[in-house]
């Protein structure tokens, strides 16, 4: 769900206006208010860390990212969405963590942890539909290994983290044209491994870097 409409990740839904009110409280001397943002965004932050290779260090990465986000709130742009801003911190923290490792975590471990984070499918869903969705997600995660790092990032944000084009561009720090072009290239590669809806084409066709 887009943060413009509201975000629900382990807590009540927060609109951008709600987030702005919480951030204003923190800035005015109420640090405990920050817990509302932590509760609302922990789920997506964990998925981002795992998808980017944090493996068993994902929880530590997310805790560090929230702490750095709290320290950096003074520079947060008023009226912006908190989620893309936070996820940029999560991705940078994940890179710092995996860079110090001898090699990236095994694909099997990454996939297992990604599928084990907060459920993306309601418990009331048809069991057959749930199984198919989980199998499709597992195929997508495996196929991501065949992409370049930039392509893997853009697909992760658009599909695994369910962010729209504008949020993806903000989170990755890329122009929207770069998001479109890299997503289109990634989808063409993925088409041979797993069926992925062509959202990039629905949002204005291929852009230019």
Q: What is the CATH number of the domain that holds 206?
A: 1.10.10.10
Model pLDDT for residues 160-182, shown as the tens digit of each residue? 788 899 999 998 889 999 999 99
Most confidently modeled of 10-24, 48-62, 81-95, 123-137? 81-95
- Is the same domain home to 206 and 141? yes
Domain count, the chain: 2
- Is the same domain home to 37 and 132? no
Residue 112 in any domain: the answer is no
Residue 141 in any domain: the answer is yes
- Is the same domain home to 147 and 50? no
Model pLDDT for residues 122-134, shown as the tens digit of each residue? 555 566 666 666 6
Task: State pTM to two decimals.
Answer: 0.68
Helix 34-51 / helix 107-116 crossing angle, nearest 10 deg? 150
- Is the same domain home to 30 and 53? yes
- Is the same domain home to 65 and 89? yes
Domain residue limits at 150: 119-209
Q: Are the beta carbons of 157 and 130 closer than 8 angstroms?
A: no
Q: What ranges in the chain are assigned the alpha helix state H?
A: 16-27, 34-51, 58-71, 82-99, 107-116, 127-144, 149-155, 165-172, 176-190, 199-202
């Amino acid at each position: 769900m887009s943060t413009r409409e509201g975000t629900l990740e382990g807590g009540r839904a927060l609109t951008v206006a709600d987030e702005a009110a919480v951030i204003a409280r923190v800035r005015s001397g109420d640090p405990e208010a920050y817990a509302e943002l932590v509760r609302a965004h922990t789920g997506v932050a964990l998925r981002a860390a795992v998808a980017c290779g944090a493996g068993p260090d994902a929880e530590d990465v997310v805790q560090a990212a929230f702490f750095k986000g709290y320290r950096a709130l003074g520079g947060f742009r008023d009226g912006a969405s908190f989620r893309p801003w936070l996820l940029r911190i999560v991705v940078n923290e994940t890179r710092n963590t995996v860079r110090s490792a001898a090699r990236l975590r095994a694909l099997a471990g990454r996939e297992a942890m990604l599928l084990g984070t907060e459920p993306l499918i309601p418990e009331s869903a048809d069991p057959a539909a749930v199984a198919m969705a989980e199998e499709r997600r597992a195929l997508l995660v495996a196929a991501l290994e065949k992409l370049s790092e930039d392509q893997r990032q853009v697909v992760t944000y658009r599909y695994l983290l369910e962010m729209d084009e504008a949020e993806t561009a903000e989170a990755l720090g890329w122009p929207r044209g770069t998001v479109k072009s890299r997503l289109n290239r990634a989808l063409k590669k993925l088409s041979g491994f797993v069926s992925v809806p062509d959202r990039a084409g629905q949002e204005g066709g291929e852009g230019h870097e």
